[in-house]
Amino acid sequence: MERLEVLDCEGRCDPALKPQLRPDQIREIYRLMVTSRRFDEKAFRLQRQGRLGTYAPISGQEASQVAPPYCLQKSDWMVPTYRSAGAYYTRGVPFKNILIYWGGDARGARVAPDQRDLFPTICIATQIPFAVGLAWGAKLKAQKEKKTSEVVLCYFGDGATSKADFHEGLNFAGVFRLPIIFVCENNQWAISLPRSRQTAAPTFSQRAFSYGMEGIQVDGNDVFAVHRATQAAVERARAGKGPTLVECETYRLGDHTTADDASRYRSAEEVARWQKLDPIVRLKKYMLQERLWSEAEETKLSSEADLVVEAAVEEAEAFAAPNPVSFFDHTFAELPWNVLEQRKALEEYLKEKDSRKDTVILDKEGRFP
Amino acid sequence: MKDPVLVKESAVHPKKTSPVESSSTKDLNLVQAVNLGLRQEMQRDDRVIVLGEDVGVNGGVFRVTEGLQKEFGESRVVDTPLAELGIVGASIGLAMYGLRPVAEIQFDGFLPPIFDQIISHAGRMRSRSLGRFTVPMVVRSPHGGLVHAPEHHSESPEAYFAHTPGIKVVIPSNPYDAKGLIVSAIRDPDPVIFFEPKRIYRSVKAPVPQREYTVPIGQAQVVRPGKEVTLIAWGAMVHTCLQAAAYLSEEHVEVEVVDLRTLAPLDLETILESVSRTGRAVIAQEAPRTCSLGSEISALIHERALLKLQAPVVRVTGYDVPTPLYKLEKYYFPDVDRVVRGIRETLKF
């Protein structure tokens, strides 16, 4: 199975595989990765301080979070998982939205009218079949208008490949030769289960063969390798040459979510081994060696990243609470009698509750998990 | 929560002597009670195996299977690939082969993939094979909301299962019943969906005997006697209802609270006996209203006890919309106040 590596862990670049990126693009990718890491660390602290709900960290996966969406155009689609802060940020979705969503408010996942980046999918792999449907729609539109196609970037993890949705989705994409790029972020762990529990095959990427599509494994902590493989896949998809499965072999440095404790099931030595392969450190080493970057610029970026993150936290925390009856609003295009009746009942109930002094206190709430 | 002394126990004849068995009683929460029930059944019967995502090394995300892999080994407590359909489909085959699989589905919102196997096979294996093949399988899953969880982690999907022919559905509201019911579920000759109300996983403690006992499937329990209204609930909602009953008791309205414990098959006798005495019934549930358990119970009461009723049955339920994200969940799930209002509605009729 083909495996692509461009940068080694000392940031030295394979001379045959020089990045197809301008210096300003490399600096921009680095900025996106560093700022995403900074946000991730902040989100974790916010959760610990009781200021944020459960959050799924991306630390360690910045290369596979940033490079694939970086290959897209605004008119392309992205269908992410729940571990997606870096991918969203790369697509221009503000961190504020991510905080509002994980703060338990659906408005944080609202997709703007000019945006084609879907809300996070929590149920594993279930986004794959509908991402395939989006790609099918894009193909039909391109055929009708005799234009090159929009493409769909569909994310999932190693665990997702075990589900029927993965098989059915990839099979459709192969059969109908759809303009879709499947990025499998193989971060080695599906909560406590090592990747060896998801497949007996040596790679995830080789499953592409059985669906009649292109497949490639890349060093997922090597942002140039991820970029090169996804860029080629995007170009193939746009040209009507069908789907690609890109396996990014990376590592989840943090817990599965803030509700998890990874030290229960994996060793500190293993984490330390992967920390040495940190995608941000590698890119920085490369940039310093190539004189694309300086420590002065690093200091400047660091304080800029803090400002971006702090501003997002402030905006999210200042965001007004949702209207309690808003959850009825989008059940259907036209609300049926039962939903209308129930909305009215809740409105009246809340009005009455406000005016009464003897309101019974709410039950004690549970804890997640 | 009072010690549920009304529980009828069935005689148990263990095959082997269990080393954990003793006459002592310990205060346990629901997580610990299910864990103890699983452990004792695994000690008693080597056909019992536990499988699911993160149930082994990690002991389950709620720690219900904590320590089981250490005690019984990796071949009896199995960390599976991330595949709910596969977990339940394989469990059906294991059960047909003669084992007693206890499958864990990590969250209620991850249950939908298993419906294909539950509806198409688990629920009809006995009837389509004319009794040749059976599925003595248990599927455990957390249930319900109010834990500030992400999307798809606060669902109440009991009606889908109760609606499916051939499937039993169980949900305890306290640690004593949790242990007794998990044992009954494992020993049951047919497939049982075993819901665990996650809101009270750790917040309710009660004395649980270390010795073996069962709580029979199909028996509800009156957890608070009363004479004016029958209040029917299950799972975590039983506690909301007990609070509502205590509140109304100060106004000298005596509410009888019935904890169903089994949702399929329903204990119709206990429901009708209570409603015939009180003449009024309120059903409280977290699930959406339309085509729910509450709808079925209300229909049964109206069909079979119409002339005993002094008011129409009232349902206090979640709304017919997807469970909202957690900032609004307290408005979605019925609280004590809404249950009290439901009761007043039947009294005013």
A45-61 pLDDT, tens digit each? 999 999 999 999 999 99
* Exposed e or buried b per residue across A281-301, where buried means at least 16 C-beta atoms within 10 angstroms of its C-beta: ebbbbbbeeeebbeeeeeeeb
Both A272 and A173 in one domain: the answer is yes
**Could you give the CA distance from residue A353 to residue A341 in angstroms, rounded to a whole number?**
18
Single out the catalytic residue among A265, A330, A349, A367: A265
Q: CB-based contact (8 Å) between B148 and chain A?
A: yes
State which H helix or E strand residue A197 sits in: none
pLDDT in tens, B211-265: 999 999 999 999 999 999 999 999 999 999 999 999 999 999 999 999 999 999 9
pLDDT at B8 over 60: no
Q: What are the residue numbers of the active site of B?
A: 153
Cβ contact (<8 Å) for A198 and B199? Answer: no
Chosen for mutation from B325, B339, B340, B341 (greatest number of chain A CBs closer than 10 Å) is B325
Residues of A in contact with B233 (CB under 8 A): none
Question: Six-digit token pair at A71?
Answer: 């290959």
Cβ–Cβ below 8 Å for B325 and A106: yes
Whether A253 and A355 map to the same domain: the answer is: no
Looking at the DSSP assignment, which residues form a beta bridge with residue B193? B139, B169
Same domain, A344 and A212: no
Chain A CB contacts of B79 under 8 Å are 192-193, 197
Q: What CATH number has the domain spanning B28-209?
A: 3.40.50.970
Query: What residues make up the domain containing A333?
Result: 323-369
Q: Based on the domain organization, do A146 and A226 belong to the same domain?
A: yes
What average pLDDT score do residues B310-338 get?
97
Please give the order of strands across the beta sheet that includes B221-224. B221-224, B255-259, B229-233, B281-288, B314-318
The alpha carbon of residue A277 is apart from the nearest alpha carbon of chain B, in Å, by 26
- Take residue A55 and report the two structure tokens written for it: 């959050």
- Which band of pLDDT confidence, cut at 50, 70 and 90, is reported for residue A303? very high
Q: Residue B175 corresponds to which amino acid?
A: P
Q: Are strands A244-249 and B25-29 parallel, antiparallel or unpaired?
A: unpaired
B180 vs B38, B121, B257, CA distance in Å? 10, 27, 20
pLDDT of A222 > 70? The answer is yes
The tens digit of pLDDT for each residue in B107-148 reads 999 999 999 999 999 999 999 999 999 999 999 999 999 999
Please compute the mean of the pLDDT values over residues A125-152 and round it to a whole number: 97
Domain boundary residue, one of A291, A318, A345: A318
Which of B284, B311, B310 lies closest to B297 in space, CA to CA?
Answer: B284
E strand or H helix at A3: strand A3-4
CB-CB contact of A360 with B335 (8 Å):
yes
Interface mutation target, options B62, B141, B151, chain A, most CBs of A under 10 Å: B151
Given this chain, do its domains B28-209 and B221-348 carry the same CATH topology? yes
User: What's the whole-number mean pLDDT along residues A123-135?
Assistant: 98
Of A163, A265, A353, the CB nearest to B82: A163
Both tokens of B21, joined, read 């068995």
User: Both A226 and A181 in a single domain?
Assistant: yes
Average pLDDT over residues B41-58: 98
- Beta bridge partners, B104, equal B52, B140
Task: Provide the residue ranges of all domains of chain B, joining segments of one domain with +.
Answer: 28-209, 221-348
Per the structure block, which two tokens stand in for A347? 């409105």
Selected residue of A46, A81, A123 to mutate for chain B interface (largest B Cβ count, 10 A) = A123
Instruction: Give me the pLDDT at residue A364, please.
Output: 52
How far is B335 from B346, CA to CA, in rounded Å?
17
B68 CA: distance to closest CA in chain A (Å): 15
Beta-strand runs (E) in chain B: 25-29, 48-52, 77-79, 100-104, 138-143, 168-170, 192-197, 205-209, 221-224, 229-233, 255-259, 262-264, 281-288, 314-318
Residue A1 pLDDT level (bands cut at 50, 70, 90): confident
The set of long-range contacts for A43-50, using a CB threshold of 8 Å and a minimum separation of 24, is: A43/A85, A43/A98, A43/A99, A43/A102, A44/A254, A44/A258, A46/A99, A46/A313, A47/A258, A48/A258
What share of chain A has pLDDT > 90, as a percent?
93
Do A264 and A148 sit in the same domain of this protein?
A: yes
> Which of A43, A126, A131, A319 is closest to B152 using CA atoms?
A126
As for how many domains chain A has, the answer is 2
Q: Tell me, yes or no, whether A109 and A228 share the same domain.
A: yes
A157: enclosing H helix or E strand: strand A152-157
Q: Strands B262-264 and B168-170, how do they pair?
A: antiparallel
Catalytic residue at A265? yes
What is B221-348's CATH number?
3.40.50.920
Cβ contact, residue pair A366, B146, below 8 Å: yes
Q: For this structure, is A256 an active site residue?
A: yes
Asked if A164 lies within 8 A of B85 by C-beta distance, the reply is: yes
Q: Look at residues A318, A340, A357 and tell me which one is the last residue of a structural domain.
A: A318
Task: Supply the CATH number for residue A158's domain.
Answer: 3.40.50.970
Q: Does B110 touch chain A (CB under 8 A)?
A: yes
Q: Pull the structure tokens for residue B276.
A: 């015939």
